[in-house]
């Protein structure tokens, strides 16, 4: 997709991943409309700060609206658009267990509204933020998109599977190119404050205890934000087939104990550990096979966990 004169909608554009995507698009001469409702999951001021460097850019339009409100979408988004990058969602496995109905409304009904909007406006490219959580407890390591029947163990994960399936329907019926990207534990500057690397780093700096769930052997495939943005742009430009589901990870499983050790090294401080039982909804491991991403969208992550944490520390300590 050539960038000149292309107008891209980015939902959730004031969030962690979305703000990085918006900055990339603006730097590469796209027109960008951001849709964000400043969900109260974390402070509005944090999200406003995420976009502060570009909010006055001449090629940026910002709409504060909720994707659950289909009428508001139709009322405010009146221009011609070439693609939607749909990152808006209620996030988090554990909160979804406490409030599953809200997750269903935003993540499923909201996605349906945007797909219906794409149909009505003849928008041909739809990039969807899915999640590694859709795999549930999957013994086929590393996880491949072809693994078949998925077994989600949280409401959040089930909503992401629903989004992928809705995309298939709209791709089949209306010819919308739908690319679902399964993100694996994204981190880096502006990371959501509830996520492990951000939360643990602050606690280390403040000499507070770190909640250490389980025995420290749970593993996550930590993926740096710049690599994720590269994958999203690859999906935006993909044109060969009309429906694909693609893993975006780092293809390295890192244990919780190893993560804490890396943080201690980078921050040059010992962590104070508070051992707790395993959390419901958590999976023991996430581990991506990214061969499909490499083949289809030339995806090649380049940032190690340690290098990414160093860059995160630079951002955090300058806040």
Residue 52 neighbours by CB under 8 Å, 6+ apart:
none
State yes or no: is 299 an active-site residue.
no
156, 170, 238, 299: the catalytic one is 156
Residue by residue, what is the 3-state secondary structure of the chain? CCCCCCEEEEECCCCHHHHHHHHHHHHCCCEEEEEECCCCCCCHHHHHHHCCCCCCCCCEEEEECCCCCHHHHHHHCCCCCCEEEECCCCCCHHHHHHCHHHHHHHHHHHHHHHHHHHHHHCCCEEEEEEEHHHHECCCCCCECHHHCCCECCCHHHHHHHHHHHHHHHHHHHHCCEEEEEEECCEECCCCCCCCHHHHHHHHHHCCCEEEEECCCCCEECCEEHHHHHHHHHHHHCCCCCCEEEEEECCCCCEEHHHHHHHHHHHHCCCCEEEEECCCCCCCCECCECCHHHHHHHCCCCCCCHHHHHHHHHHHHCCC
| Cβ(259)–Cβ(291) below 8 Å | no
The values of phi and psi at residue 288, to 5°, are -95, 140
Alpha carbon distance 298, 228 (integer Å)? 12
Give the CA distances from residue 209 to residues 93, 237, 272, in Å, rounded to whole numbers and listed in that order. 22, 44, 5
Report the catalytic residues: 156
């Amino acid at each position: 997709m050539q960038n000149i004169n292309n107008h891209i909608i980015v939902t959730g554009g004031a969030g962690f991943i979305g703000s990085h995507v918006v900055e990339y698009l603006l730097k590469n001469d796209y027109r960008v409309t951001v849709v964000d409702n400043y969900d109260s999951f974390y402070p509005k001021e944090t999200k406003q700060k995420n976009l502060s460097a570009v909010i006055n850019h001449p090629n940026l339009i910002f709409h504060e609206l909720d994707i659950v409100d289909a009428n508001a979408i139709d009322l405010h988004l009146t221009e011609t658009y070439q693609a939607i990058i749909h990152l808006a969602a209620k996030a988090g496995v554990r909160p979804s267990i406490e409030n599953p109905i809200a997750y269903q409304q935003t993540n499923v009904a909201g996605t349906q509204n945007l797909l219906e909007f794409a149909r009505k406006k003849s928008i041909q490219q739809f990039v969807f933020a899915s999640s590694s959580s859709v795999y549930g407890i999957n013994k086929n390591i590393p996880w491949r998109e072809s693994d078949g029947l998925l077994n989600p163990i949280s409401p959040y994960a089930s909503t992401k599977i629903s989004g992928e399936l809705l995309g298939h329907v709209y791709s089949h019926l209306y010819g919308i190119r739908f690319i679902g990207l399964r993100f694996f534990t994204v981190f880096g500057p502006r990371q959501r404050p509830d996520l492990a690397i951000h939360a643990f780093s602050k606690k280390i700096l403040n000499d507070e205890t770190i909640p250490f769930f389980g025995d420290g052997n749970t593993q996550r495939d930590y993926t740096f934000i710049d690599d994720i943005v590269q994958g999203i742009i690859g999906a935006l430009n993909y044109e060969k087939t009309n429906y694909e589901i693609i893993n975006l990870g780092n293809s390295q499983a890192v244990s919780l104990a190893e993560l804490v050790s890396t943080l201690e090294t980078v921050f040059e401080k010992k962590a104070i550990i508070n051992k707790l039982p395993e959390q419901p909804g958590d999976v023991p491991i996430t581990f991506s096979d990214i061969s499909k991403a490499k083949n289809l969208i030339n995806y090649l992550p380049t940032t190690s966990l340690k290098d990414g944490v160093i860059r995160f520390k630079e951002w955090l300590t300058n806040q």
